[in-house]
Chain A
Amino acid sequence: ARVRMAGRGAWGSRLSGVCVLLVCAWPASCLYEDQAGKVDWSRANVGRAAFALFPSAQREAVVASADGVVAGLDIQTGVTSWRRVLPDGEAVGRMISVGDDLLVTLGTARTASGTVGSVRMWSVGGALLWDAMLPEVGAGRSPAVAVGEGAIFVGSGTTVVAFHAATGEELWRWHAPTDKGGNAVIVQLAAKRTEAGGIASLHTYVIQERAGSTSRVLLTASLAPTDGKQLDKHELRHGDALAPTAEVQFVLTSDATKVMTLSVQSPTTILVHTLGSSKLEAVSLSTVWPSEAASPIVLLANSLPSAAALRAADGTLALISFTRAGTVPTLVRSFSPQAGAQAFSSASLAESAIAAVATADSSGQVTLMTLKLRADGSADGEWSATQPCGIATSDVAHGFEFWLNAYARKDGSYGSRLLISSVGDALQLMRPSTDAAQPVWVREESLASVTAATMVPLPAVPIDVDEGRPFFGLALPSIIEGIQEKVAMLRLSAEEAATKKKIQTMLGDAYGTRQVVLATTAASKLIAIHSATGEILWTYFVAPLALGAPPPTIRATFVDGSGAKATLIMLAADDARYAVLTLNPFSGAVLARRDEAKSLLHAAQLPHTHISSHRVLYLVDSQLQVAVHPDTPAARNELAANLQTTYFHLVSPTEVQGFGLLSATDGVAAARATERWAIALPPGSRSKLSYFPHSAAVHSPTRTKGDRTVLHKYINRNLVAIASEVDTAPGGEPYVQVMLLDSVAGRVLYTTRHSASTGPISILLGENTILYSYTSSTTAQPTLTSAELFVNSSAADDPLSLLLAGPMDTSLRKNQFDAFAAAPPKVQSQSYAYATAVSALGITLTHKGITPRQILVGTAAGHLLAYDARLFDPRRPFVHPSKMTAQDKEEGLVPYNPSLGGINSLQVISHRNTVARPRTIVTAPTMLESTSLVFAFGLDLFLTRATPARTFDMLGEDFNKVGLFGATTAMAIATVVSGWYVSRKELAAAWA
């Protein structure tokens, strides 16, 4: 077993190899059982909550997210009791409880044949009891559902299917009548109850679209719940007053007597159908809202007894009830909007229902008002007094929704809890209480939608006094300091020690493994996580940039400076404006903010110069005008100095456009951008891109072969690797295309196409390697292809020529790389069959780039695996292992095998954790050359350390330090004692 070290040369590497050989065995990424969780952490998320239920049988809240995750959360602590991640592509559109201990989720799922409806029955403990797929989906809608008589009735597309609630067995099926060539979609099911609680009839609402006509008809058919026999059918009028089929929303009252929907023809009219009748009543709301200024009105989806909840555009909320036969609505109660954000929720409580309005003011203080509704829809009393619930996360002030959990107390009163999901995706539980200061618990569910992550090492000392001082001292002072601190810690009380430890975790260590992970999320939130503990250090929610503006997107984050002086620059933008925020990456404090009323196209940092200590940012708006940040004359000069060498590109689904910079003509803008090139991507394709970071260290420009001749790596940080998954027209063959672009010149350096291949694709660009994954559409075999790029040149590189040529003057243009003229690289590639579908690829990055690299693979099943990069070496020889040449063995090549084999559990660095739906793997170097931080994110987060050649620069955890110290001390004592003894003996001999 040998460790391959890419040293300064084969000569040096051989000698160092001899030394390393003595201490290292084969580099393995596995870890011992007791090491699990010591250098890694994981975080399981649910995602943005779309539905929540509070089953009475458990002290849990069951939450379903639209992304297809169903989870039970402990209501006291917020800890995930159980979580089920539905297959990729499955969305939950509805969740209802059945009795006390069952749940049904309904939604749409993606299969090879298209989108289908899905229905799943769960126990409240999270066990999947049965599931079924419904082949039709009407207009992309989630299936409609009704429950009763020990059965679940599901309407999807044109079919109603009855399933046995306990077994999932199909009881009967009913097909909606369709016009010839027309289309029909079941939009609602309602079960009319009998006095005894059984089902009298099942009412189906079908929207029929006539062939060749835009007019639609709303039909209702009542079915016998036992056998699905059609009892009667009515064609209801007002079909044209309905919203588009895909969006129309029907609300069933909680007593299952009326079905309502809002008319699109008159915004203040509600269409009400009483179950069993043959008419659809148009009820005018003009008596409730005399003026039409409040329109548009929204019908809220909450089920109330004989009542409906409506909200006007100005935020006014009205609860209306309907007389049994009449068409005049009664205003039960209304609620006028207050400053801050409001949300409405309701919960049923025995025979009655509780309606609740929660308000969050600008400081995040949440207050609650409740109203009890009787079974006939009338109010039992007035709105309750405002009950404070404490201060929630600050983003609730910009909007939230909540679910009310009302429970009856023994004294007849009722208590309530609020499960709040803020606009920044923070899920929190609050309780009305006069002394409540903060939520009972908070879960940052925006971490399920992380889009990018940057890592910043924590400073070693709180304040860096001297600019030139290194942040991580040499080993010896650290060791002495460590010993001193340990001694000091012994003297402290337990409480003081805990505080001190907490302060210390916020300081960097000598190895640089303590860093702040700055995660950008799709919920306009930036979250800082401690890399060693996984603790959330701070969150920053970017409020809409203007009143009524859409939520901004965090476009990019940049780190300027290092150590305690590091600053974080965040760019948040919506369609019409952008903001540049400067934050302290360790505390989240906002240091500066700049707002611009321009649409941001692109932003990037200029290279580091010695002119100023800060890196200048250039910002390109949609008018192609370039601004600098900070906007100072020095920054403008710096941009002017970099105009010739600064390029950028924009990637859209259809093309990649390259831009260069020119000096500004008007004198207002710092510069202007001009389009240089554009390359079209295959039509109808989904693409993924990969870059090799400019900051990543590369140790050697060459690769040494077994005979010690060299191959010159093609290293160009301006390469962009684009993998496109192309669905051709029906009947055509899908293919995967990979393109390598030089983004300065817009030249395609390499392109390859894999026929009969399809996604999911992922791509990784290393220093001179490309690795991408796809699936063969004929054999469904996940495949990985690697390619290595070498310089295509015949320049003399023998030792004599190198010695005679002397050092090269790289300041001369002729000795620099010319993106426009350089020969394209020579590409070698190989493909390998892989055991499972790949969702994300990553590569380890180390401080100096000397340590051999590891390839990190995130599988669709949620494993994170680390492979030696040698397995993806396109130079693997096509020979039997016994026939390997000595040179290939010397180089450490592995004989080619068309398969990479199964999943070896020793390579699973996520060990017992699951990283559900991994999207991206981000790596960052530490101060230890051997160690790289690996952060994988998708629905879940996982952070660990990767050591491709083991921790060769660090003593092992089980290193016997006491033994070493003892032996050294004993030797020192023995030396002194024996010296003294010998001199004494010699003196005695001299006297004798």
Chain B
Amino acid sequence: AAAVGSHATWPPATMAEKARKNWDFSGLDTQGSTKVGSEEPPGYRMTVDDSAAAGKSKAKSTNQDLLEKKAWEIAIAPIQSVGMNLFMLWMSGSSPGIFNVMILGYCFTSILGQFSRVNTAFLAFKTIDTTLQKLAYLALCSVSLAYLLYHASGMGLLPTASGDWIASIPNTEVLEIVSGSVK
């Protein structure tokens, strides 16, 4: 901020410049206030000049659509980010080697991180209802997690079989004690 300030001091700004820099974006997202407070720049058109749908969509083509579109993009981000991980996992094979376990651990932390970032990721879209996007985000994260668990299970890292619970398999006790002699 200090650096920006120092640039702003030279050349000395006029009052008009200062006023122009003092931008206000707060009115932009307000419903039905397209042209309130600011003029569209010359040559800027908010809507696509689609002759067929022009009449109907004109009203809906608002910033909200853009935001929703952006939110959906965020929602499907986990799949994109996990693609690399999946490739690494696939390449590493299914044997429980130390590197595979490390890669798997890395994927797990990244997926769990994504789970924990669900609210942060959609913080920018607080003006719209992002429930669906969040659900989709969580669903996709869950799919990734499920795949990871499946992979871990394939590597034998999950205690899902009875062979992993040997300690709880009871040992039959034989009370009788027999000894033998040769006559």
Which residues of A pack against B, CB within 8 Å? 8-12, 14, 17-18, 555-556, 601-607, 642, 645-652, 689, 691, 694, 700-702, 704-705, 707-710, 712, 715-718, 720, 743-744, 791, 797-799, 802-803, 807-808, 810, 815-817, 819, 890
A817 near B177: Cβ-Cβ < 8 Å: no
Query: Which A residues lie within 8 Å of B166 (CB)?
Result: 8-9, 700-702, 704, 710
B178 near A648: Cβ-Cβ < 8 Å: yes
B181 contact from A555, A707, A709, A797, Cβ within 8 A? A555
User: Is B173 on the interface with A (CB-CB < 8 A)?
Assistant: yes
User: Is B50 on the interface with A (CB-CB < 8 A)?
Assistant: no
User: Is B165 on the interface with A (CB-CB < 8 A)?
Assistant: yes
B176 near A646: Cβ-Cβ < 8 Å: yes
A701 near B178: Cβ-Cβ < 8 Å: no
A601 near B97: Cβ-Cβ < 8 Å: no
Knowing A9-B164, A18-B96 are in contact, say whether A647-B177 is a contact too (CB < 8 A).
Answer: yes
Query: Which B residues lie within 8 Å of A601 (CB)?
Result: 181, 183
B171 near A602: Cβ-Cβ < 8 Å: no
Q: Which residue of A lies closest to B161 (CB)?
A: A708
Which residues of B pack against A, CB within 8 Å? 96-98, 101, 156-183
Query: Which B residues lie within 8 Å of A555 (CB)?
Result: 181
Knowing A707-B161, A710-B163, A797-B162 are in contact, say whether A810-B173 is a contact too (CB < 8 A).
Answer: yes
Please give the distance in Å from A674's CB to the nearest CB on chain B. 15
Q: A208 CA to B165 CA in the complex, in Å?
A: 79
Query: Which A residues lie within 8 Å of B162 (CB)?
Result: 708-710, 797-799, 802
Closest 7 interchain pairs by CB?
A708-B161, A604-B179, A708-B163, A704-B163, A808-B170, A652-B183, A11-B164
A709 near B171: Cβ-Cβ < 8 Å: no
Q: Which residue of B lies closest to A822 (CB)?
A: B172
B181 near A650: Cβ-Cβ < 8 Å: yes
B164 near A819: Cβ-Cβ < 8 Å: no
A715 near B172: Cβ-Cβ < 8 Å: yes
Q: A604 CA to B181 CA in the complex, in Å?
A: 9
Query: Which A residues lie within 8 Å of B160 (CB)?
Result: 708, 799
13 contacts between A and B (CB under 8 A): A11-B158, A555-B181, A602-B181, A605-B179, A648-B180, A648-B181, A651-B182, A652-B183, A709-B162, A717-B178, A720-B180, A743-B178, A815-B172
A645 contact from B97, B98, B175, Cβ within 8 A? B175
Query: Which B residues lie within 8 Å of A707 (CB)?
Result: 161
Q: A421 CA to B156 CA in the complex, in Å?
A: 66
Task: Name the residue among B174, B177, B178 with the largest chain A CB count within 10 angstroms.
Answer: B178
Number of A-B contacts (CB under 8 A): 148
Q: A606 CA to B179 CA in the complex, in Å?
A: 10
Query: Which A residues lie within 8 Å of B171 (CB)?
Result: 701, 715, 810
Give me 14 other A-B pairs in contact (C-beta within 8 A), A649-B180, A704-B166, A799-B159 excluded. Answer: A9-B163, A11-B156, A14-B96, A648-B180, A650-B182, A689-B182, A700-B166, A705-B163, A710-B169, A743-B180, A799-B164, A799-B165, A810-B171, A817-B174
Query: Which A residues lie within 8 Å of B176 (CB)?
Result: 645-647, 718, 744, 819
Q: A799 CA to B169 CA in the complex, in Å?
A: 9
Knowing A651-B183, A808-B170, A815-B170 are in contact, say whether A708-B164 is a contact too (CB < 8 A).
Answer: yes
Query: Which B residues lie within 8 Å of A817 (CB)?
Result: 172-175
Query: Which B residues lie within 8 Å of A689 (CB)?
Result: 180, 182
Knowing A691-B180, A702-B169, A802-B168 are in contact, say whether A9-B159 is a contact too (CB < 8 A).
Answer: yes
Query: Which A residues lie within 8 Å of B96 (CB)?
Result: 14, 17-18
Q: A12 CA to B166 CA in the complex, in Å?
A: 10
Knowing A9-B164, A11-B157 are in contact, say whether A646-B177 is a contact too (CB < 8 A).
Answer: yes
Please give the distance in Å from B100's CB to the nearest CB on chain A. 10
Please give the distance in Å from A885's CB to the nearest CB on chain B. 14
Q: Which residue of A lies closest to B155 (CB)?
A: A14
Query: Which B residues lie within 8 Å of A605 (CB)?
Result: 179
A718 near B178: Cβ-Cβ < 8 Å: yes
A802 near B169: Cβ-Cβ < 8 Å: yes
Query: Which A residues lie within 8 Å of B177 (CB)?
Result: 606-607, 642, 645-647, 694, 717-718
Please give the distance in Å from B135's CB to the nearest CB on chain A. 30
Please give the distance in Å from B131's CB to the nearest CB on chain A. 35
Query: Which B residues lie within 8 Å of A712 (CB)?
Result: 169
Q: A601 CA to B181 CA in the complex, in Å?
A: 8
